[in-house]
Homo-oligomer: A and B are copies of this chain.
Amino acid sequence: MMKPVDLTHASRLVNHGPTVLVTSVHGARRNVMAAAWSMPVEFTPPRIAVVIDKRTFTCELVLASGAFGICIPGASLADLTWTVGSESGRELAQEGTDKLARHGIAFEPGPVLGQPLVQGAIAWLECRRIPEPHSEQAYDTFFGEVVSAFADERVFSAGRWLLDAFDEGSNADLHTLHHLGSGNFAVASRVLRAKLLK
């Protein structure tokens, strides 16, 4: 069900501000965290910014590998998203495990950068870190260039999100999550088509 997304459409995947999972791997070490703070910064080449606290295990792995994955969870992954956003990957590493193993999260390596792509997520982006030490240090803000993108064709096709009205129920579990705080997520489930005012 995951289909390649043309890189010219990659920004659309995060344009509406979904909470994402940031994955990382370096050698045998790997991690997944939740991030509410990300945004596109450029259409072409597709570039994004994401806030990764410099104290996190994810930050350590991203600096070591020069890459990260962005996996977009649908509503059905709300509990998993909140959980991996609440645990410390570094603490688990010290116990000889990681969040992926602990929660039985299936994933596959991305085709370009080998970043962990979480099964059950509705979209994936592999990103190559663009080194910006000042922004990383001052604002925990990492810039990355998107080098591969995929989406579940049931909810994103031909460069567009397909968010069916949730009361019709057809793909409500695939709608994106938007973290309000404290484990409460708004779901992007109602779509309005705006018109231009004169």
A residues bordering B, Cβ < 8 Å? 12, 15-19, 36-42, 47, 49, 51, 75, 78-83, 86, 103, 132, 134-135, 139-141, 143, 159-161, 163, 166-167, 175-197
* A40 contacts across to B, CB distance below 8 A: 36-37, 51
- Residue among B81, B160, B189 making CB contact with A181, cutoff 8 Å: B160
Instruction: Find out whether the CB atom of B82 lies under 8 angstroms from the CB atom of A196.
Output: yes
- Residue among B79, B135, B140 making CB contact with A135, cutoff 8 Å: B135
* A18 contacts across to B, CB distance below 8 A: 17
Q: In the complex, A181 Cα to B190 Cα: how many Å? A: 14
- Residue among B80, B103, B178 making CB contact with A17, cutoff 8 Å: B178
Instruction: Find out whether the CB atom of A75 lies under 8 angstroms from the CB atom of B192.
Output: yes
Query: Which DSSP category, helix, strand, loop or mixed, fits chain A's interface?
Result: mixed
* A143 contacts across to B, CB distance below 8 A: 139
Instruction: Find out whether the CB atom of B190 lies under 8 angstroms from the CB atom of A161.
Output: no
* A177 contacts across to B, CB distance below 8 A: 192
Give 16 A-B contacts (CB < 8 Å), ordered by A residue. A12-B180, A15-B36, A15-B179, A17-B39, A49-B49, A49-B141, A160-B181, A175-B190, A183-B193, A183-B196, A184-B191, A184-B192, A185-B192, A185-B193, A186-B190, A186-B191
